[in-house]
Amino acid sequence: MEKKDGPHAAKSKVVKEEALWTGKWLKVEQTTYLDPKGQIRTWETVKRTTRTASCGTDGVAIMAILKRTLHHDCLLLVKQFRPPMGCYTIELPAGLVDSGETVQAAALRELQEETGYHAEITGVSPVLCLDPGISNCTELLVSAVINGDDPENRRPQQELEFIEVLLVPVNELLQKLTEMSNKGMVVDARVHIYAMALVQATAKPNLLPLLKA
């Protein structure tokens, strides 16, 4: 019987990793691997130098929903200049997990540093890949809620001057992201997909083009 991953899946594996260049934060390797047909091939791979064995991921991203009386729920996003992109991006608060730190602690620390808010964690994803065509970089997505009525969250003190905090009402997320894209910012794919999913989940079935007669 064919395996679920296809007839050749068991043959695919990495056989050698050779360093081509190593910097402070990143390294480039040539990965030698067996393709699904058992043929030897190579791939150019980027890795972070900062990954620690203990937590099994490079970083965390925090999907934090701010809840306040008499306000629409808002998703917390951060706007910052990203040198590799050469422009401002719109992303979830995120960062690298420090050595010896738990994923939960890293998520709460990054959220506090980048936005000033204190949150309660409601869920943690499995390890997720970010750009597997070029890199082994991974992230865990931590869900959280922020009680905006709590005194500690009334006047959040953001610590990083180069990061702008955006509170975007969840019910108009896709529209707001589109407006920011039109102004030249680049939106993180995960944030955009979340916004699309919210629209799809709340749209009436008879508005879906596929179901139109």
Q: Which residues bind ligand LXVLRK3C (CB under 6 A)?
A: 25-26, 94-96
Q: How far is the CB of 156 from ligand LXVLRK3C (least distance, A)?
A: 17
Residue 55 or 174: the one with the smaller Cβ distance to ligand LXVLRK3C is: 55
Q: How far is the CB of 78 from ligand LXVLRK3C (least distance, A)?
A: 8
Residue 95 or 148: the one with the smaller Cβ distance to ligand LXVLRK3C is: 95
Rounded Cα–Cα distance for residues 46 and 31 (Å): 10
Residue 26 or 198: the one with the smaller Cβ distance to ligand LXVLRK3C is: 26
Residue 136 or 147: the one with the smaller Cβ distance to ligand LXVLRK3C is: 136
Q: How far is the CB of 13 from ligand LXVLRK3C (least distance, A)?
A: 28
Is 43 within 8 Å of 31 (Cβ atoms)?
A: yes
Closest residue by Cα to residue 187 from 46, 115, 91, 87: 91
Q: How far is the CB of 96 from ligand LXVLRK3C (least distance, A)?
A: 4
Q: Which residue is nearest to ligand LXVLRK3C (CB)?
A: 95
Residue 163 or 198: the one with the smaller Cβ distance to ligand LXVLRK3C is: 163
Q: How far is the CB of 53 from ligand LXVLRK3C (least distance, A)?
A: 18
Find the length of the chain: 213
Residue 85 or 196: the one with the smaller Cβ distance to ligand LXVLRK3C is: 85
Q: How far is the CB of 93 from ligand LXVLRK3C (least distance, A)?
A: 8
